[in-house]
Chains A and B, each alone.
Chain A
């Protein structure tokens, strides 16, 4: 196990001191990297934050072990994320050259790439869930986070049967959005 695995553990444990340490040690490096590639300081901090959240999700439920330094890995994740932002905003032409700019040689990269793609997919699903109406969001979230659906219905002031109807209706709307988005 790489000695820097501790940083992954800080994220997994939601350790505030550890997270501060990550910022103290790596924030400037990432912000500079983004600034050198058409971004601002705020872009840099935003990318750092979203990348750390992705690493957290990546590590939380998967057997993720660092094979390189945390700094290199974090830079890879941030570059990948920033490249996607640039592509989305069409600030750069999507060319092989630009992809090469962000290429890092590492034998574990393919494995990471798969994990990060899965996290991207999950982020998009959560983003689409947020585009549903408030009541649909509440029904889906509560039904998936809580065990007793009869109690959910009662607390929402609706019948259990109505809750089940609405839940399947809301899930159908979400699935439709997911299909339209081409995530899966």
Chain B
């Protein structure tokens, strides 16, 4: 069943039509909390869209150049590398922030993620995929893999099928096969690359290849859930 967040997103994206749209607008008019939530999401998206469309990056480049010139003109003894100190400070803050979050995180380091269903409005259900989701989340990994392999044969460009198929070996604790399947994903540039690196690192850890595990964990950016898990595991391994 579709959750509230998805419905709000669909409404904002203009994907609600006809009776469904009328009903949702009626709901918004009657439910103050929903109204606030929709308006907050619209405002946030407006802010992000506006910032992404700005030329802030170019402006910053111009200002960096102007700063260098301005500082050198004034005969400042400070070296240019000092410009990077704020960046280093921000990086430290991020590390601190992630460590702080880690202390409050209960998510298991070796647990597999929940496989995400694809059922959304206006899209025909991908039956094989939904069977795979059910099997995967029930830890019936072989069955999930069979379904995913069918999907991969039908469309080998969808990385998400390959990622979850690789994780089925992880779920079975077949570490050698996990390493083989996860390596190309970890080396790729898809949105699953960091997650693949993490599970690949765990597989290396499980097969006593600590150095490889540490090297991979160090490549994962600190932000987000996977970054937090990576930092925590890294701490454990060291």
Q: Interface on B for A, CB 8 Å cutoff?
A: 3, 5-6, 8-10, 37, 40-41, 43-45, 47-56, 58-60, 62-67, 69-71, 73-74, 76, 78, 82, 85-86, 94, 97, 116-120, 123, 126, 129, 157-160, 190-192, 194-195, 221, 223-227
User: Which residues of A sit under 8 angstroms from B10, Cβ to Cβ?
Assistant: 164, 168
Question: Which of A75-83, A100-108, A121-129 binds B?
Answer: A121-129
Measured CA separation A162–B115 after assembly (Å): 11
The answer to whether B116 touches A165 (Cβ under 8 A) is yes
The answer to whether A41 touches B78 (Cβ under 8 A) is yes
User: Which residues of B sit under 8 angstroms from A133, Cβ to Cβ?
Assistant: 194, 223-227
| Residue A69, interface by CB 8 Å | no
Measured CA separation A41–B157 after assembly (Å): 52
Instruction: Give the nearest-CB partner of B220 in chain A.
Output: A134
The answer to whether B119 touches A161 (Cβ under 8 A) is yes
Instruction: Give the nearest-CB partner of A42 in chain B.
Output: B82
Choose among A134, A144, A156 the residue that contacts B224 (Cβ–Cβ < 8 A): A134
Choose among A23, A60, A136 the residue that contacts B70 (Cβ–Cβ < 8 A): A23
Q: Interface on A for B, CB 8 Å cutoff?
A: 11, 14, 16, 19-20, 22-24, 27-28, 41-42, 45-46, 48-49, 52-53, 56-57, 60-61, 121-122, 125-126, 129-141, 144-145, 154, 156-162, 164-169, 171-172, 174-175, 178, 184
Measured CA separation A53–B62 after assembly (Å): 11
The answer to whether A20 touches B118 (Cβ under 8 A) is no
The answer to whether B123 touches A160 (Cβ under 8 A) is yes
The answer to whether B47 touches A52 (Cβ under 8 A) is no
The answer to whether A23 touches B158 (Cβ under 8 A) is no
Measured CA separation A169–B191 after assembly (Å): 15
Interface majority SS (helix, strand, loop, mixed), chain A:
helix
Measured CA separation A20–B158 after assembly (Å): 48
Measured CA separation A140–B158 after assembly (Å): 19
Interface majority SS (helix, strand, loop, mixed), chain B:
helix
Choose among B3, B44, B59 the residue that contacts A14 (Cβ–Cβ < 8 A): B59
The answer to whether A131 touches B223 (Cβ under 8 A) is yes
Instruction: Give the nearest-CB partner of B48 in chain A.
Output: A144
The answer to whether A14 touches B62 (Cβ under 8 A) is yes
The answer to whether A14 touches B97 (Cβ under 8 A) is no
Q: A45-B70, A131-B97 are in contact. List 12 more A-B contacts (CB 8 A).
A: A42-B78, A42-B86, A125-B47, A129-B48, A134-B191, A135-B194, A144-B48, A156-B159, A158-B159, A162-B116, A172-B5, A175-B41
Q: Given known contacts A23-B66, A23-B70, is B192 in contact with A135 (CB within 8 Å)?
A: yes
The answer to whether B118 touches A157 (Cβ under 8 A) is no
The answer to whether A161 touches B67 (Cβ under 8 A) is no
Choose among B59, B65, B129 the residue that contacts A53 (Cβ–Cβ < 8 A): B59
User: Which residues of B sit under 8 angstroms from A57, Cβ to Cβ?
Assistant: 51, 54, 56
List the 9 closest pairs (A to B, CB-CB), nearest first: A133-B224, A157-B159, A135-B191, A161-B118, A168-B9, A23-B66, A172-B5, A23-B70, A168-B6
Task: Give the one of B3, B37, B71, B191 with max A CB within 10 A.
Answer: B191
User: Which residues of A sit under 8 angstroms from B78, Cβ to Cβ?
Assistant: 41-42
Measured CA separation A126–B56 after assembly (Å): 12
Q: What is the CB-to-nearest-CB distance from A177 to chain B, in angstroms, rounded to a whole number?
A: 10
User: Which residues of A sit under 8 angstroms from B50, Cβ to Cβ?
Assistant: 61, 122
Instruction: Give the nearest-CB partner of B39 in chain A.
Output: A184
User: Which residues of B sit under 8 angstroms from A166, Cβ to Cβ?
Assistant: 116
The answer to whether A134 touches B221 (Cβ under 8 A) is yes
The answer to whether B159 touches A184 (Cβ under 8 A) is no
